[in-house]
Every structure is written in structure tokens, then in C-alpha cells.
Amino acid sequence: MATPAPLVPATTADEGEITVSAAELRELRDELQRFMMEYRFGLQEVETKIGILRDEFLLTHDYNPIEHVSSRVKSPDSLVEKVQRKGIDGDFDSIRRNITDIAGIRVTCSFTADVYRLFDLLTAQDDVRVLQVKDYIAAPKSNGYKSLHAILEVPVFLSTGRIEVPVEVQFRTIAMDFWASLEHKIYYKYATRVPDELLESLKDAADTAAELDARMERLHRQIRAGGAAPATPTSAVTVREITTSGDADAAAPGHDDPEVRAV
């Protein structure tokens, strides 16, 4: 009976290649599965917290500020690509330190005020640690992109003990989400080399989406108050500036330099 071929053919060091045995590959596979499992559990912790807030809002306030929630854990291929692109070491400890969006959740809200309210409620929980916030609503990207990004660290309790897992949470409105989805498809189609006229149209569409957000939020307040809407300009978007501790009077950042809070 013929001997089965090895999973990875052995080569010599002189050929500039690495020899990996089947046992080493199995060990790497098992370690990768354990590594990704931690982020999957961290994701579930944050999803549970968001689900509790959504259900409590419906019961107590007769209002659901969350339109929908989507989540993902990066695939191994996507993770390897990011490790190579960032030029970091490929060991798991280095990946833990340098890549914080392995687990990600996107929360789509009805209105801009809901974005900040949910962020405050989620981050006020005593087992949630805020590592970083990038407020692209208060300071949109130059192309018009808006969203509130937060890296949150939550505890996960395993049989071996407690570990802290970072999870990226993106909060945005329906209009912001619609624009971002279209922008992503355009960039994918043109392999990031988007014609200038399309970029200008995207920026105009982002401004229109912001105006729509403002109008719909005023209508929402008017309906719930049972009276006239506040007299604010139709193009104004109510946003809250996130500042670092002790720097509340700092000037608002420019569109190309979104404010970041590291805690």
C-alpha cells in the first residue's frame, strides 16, 4: 500500500522555504480556532447587551431606537491580509495587541440622537471598557462618510478564567448606512480608483443624507411631542462632540482628522 503524501511537502532550507509537518499544521489550526473563539464569544457578549437594551426600550418606552444589528468575526483569510498590510508580526500575541476589529458589530439606528443615546447606555455599563472612539458624525471623513466607531473591551469567562476581548461597534443611522453601502460598492467596482465626478456625487449624496436625517429627526420629535417641530435649519444635524477628558473646550477637529478618544 502506498504511503499517503504529506499535507505540506517537505523542502530544504536551501530552497528558501519552510518545512511544516502535519502535526504542526494541526497544532496551528487548533490554536487559530481557540483564538477566533475568544472573539466570537466577545461578540456574543456585546450582542446580548444590545439586545437587552432593545427589548427594554420596547417594553418601557414603547419605542425601538435600533433598526437592525449585524455582526461578523473576520475570516482567517481577511485576518492574514490585514496582518500583512499592517506589517505586524504574525504571532497571536502581536495580533491581539495590534488588531482590534477582529470582532465587529454594526448597529443601525433610526436617528442621530439614538446613536449617541445607545452609545452612552452601552458604555455606561461597568463591565464595558472604552478603548477608543472615532466620531465620524461630528467630524465626517472628507468623502462624506459618517458613523460613530467605538472599540469596546468586554470580559469573557472561560473554563481557564477571565479574558478581556476587544469588539468594534459601529453606530449609524439608516441614511448613513445606505450611503456607506453604496460607497463601498462603488469603491469595490473601481478598485478604489473612483473617478472624480463620482466622488463629488458621493459627497453631495452624503450631504443630502445628512439633511434627510435632520428632517426626519425633527418630524419624529414633533410626532412624539404632539406639537410643532423646533424651528431649526433643515440642513442642520444635531451632533455631540466627543472630547478627551479635561479637553472639553478643544476646537472641533477637521473632516480629515476625526477626533479620537483613547481611555
Measure Cα distances from 84 to 16, 88, 221 in Å: 19, 7, 48
Query: 245 pLDDT exceeds 50?
Result: no
Coil, strand or helix at 226:
coil
Mean pLDDT computed over every residue of the chain: 82
Q: Which residue has the higher pLDDT, 221 or 2?
A: 221
Whether pLDDT at 235 is above 60: no
What integer pLDDT is reported at residue 19 of this predicted model?
72
Please provide the DSSP assignment of 31-58 as one string: HHHHHHHHHHHHHHHHHHHHHHHHHHHH
Question: pLDDT tens digit string along 137-177?
Answer: 999 999 899 999 999 999 999 999 999 999 999 999 999 99
Which of 45-59, 99-113, 133-147, 193-207 is predicted least confidently? 193-207
What is the structure's pLDDT at 222? Answer: 87
Asked if residue 68 has pLDDT above 90, the reply is yes
Distance (Å, rounded) from C-alpha 247 to C-alpha 253? 13
Evaluate if residue 249 carries a pLDDT over 70. Answer: no
Q: How far is CA 150 from CA 131, 169, 217, in A?
A: 8, 5, 23
Whole-number Å distance between alpha carbons of 217 and 239: 12
| Beta strands per DSSP E along the chain | 66-73, 103-109, 129-135, 148-158, 161-173, 260-262
Superfamily of domain 22-174: Beta Polymerase, domain 2 (3.30.460.10)
- For residue 17, the model assigns a pLDDT of 65
Query: Which residues lie below 8 Å from residue 203, measured CB to CB, with a gap of 6+?
Result: 143, 144
Q: What is the pLDDT of residues 81-128, one digit of tens each?
A: 999 999 999 899 999 999 999 999 999 999 999 999 999 999 999 999
Q: Does the pLDDT value for residue 12 go beyond 70? A: no
CA atoms within 13 A on the CB side of 6: 12
Cα separation, 129 vs 122, in Å, equals 10
Residue 159's Cα: distance from chain center in Å? 28
